[in-house]
Structure 1
Amino acid sequence: MYYIAEAFLHNYLLEVGVKKSLLEGKTLGGLIAYAEIYLMNKGAERFPLNHYKDIQQLRNSAVHPALATGKKENQGYDLSNLDCFDHIIRYFGI
């Protein structure tokens, strides 16, 4: 889910005119930053940026180093956590 969302956002930014050289090597967090700048300047109706941020938070909580040390308990994930991804899929009409 994380990498698919990252690919969607990368392609979206290319389509709206962000230079490919600026996007090379960027992860989802970097792409979100570019999308925020673009949306602030140009705007886009109903773009699901908040859902991208939700996916990033889910990913970060799933790979947090404290989980490996036992300092943080794994909260587990279920289908309700995929709701943010559903909004992204609907936005792109897939």
Structure 2
Amino acid sequence: MSDSDIYLDYELLGTNRDNIRSIANLLEGPCRSMANVNGSDMGVDRLEQRMDDFGDEWEYGIGKLAEFSDAAATCLDEVLNGFRDIDEELSRAFQEN
């Protein structure tokens, strides 16, 4: 293979996709925990409200991270499939010539 050849490690790309997807799954637990933050456990009205706000904000943020990592994994699937399709088309084209 020369320096100008294009090489894509499908196995490594698939592993990266799986790792990114596992981030989304890993974040589900903390997201649920933050949704269950209950300010009334604090005993002080102002602190109760702040804890409720804190839980809501972090639940939203963690949920977005999970959403984005799942979307990134889906995009990597598309990249992987696209390159596989190109490889197959090129292989067929070379076999025909």
- Structure-1-length-normalised TM-score: 0.37
Give the TM-score, by structure 2 length. Answer: 0.36
* Greater Rg over alpha carbons, structure: 2
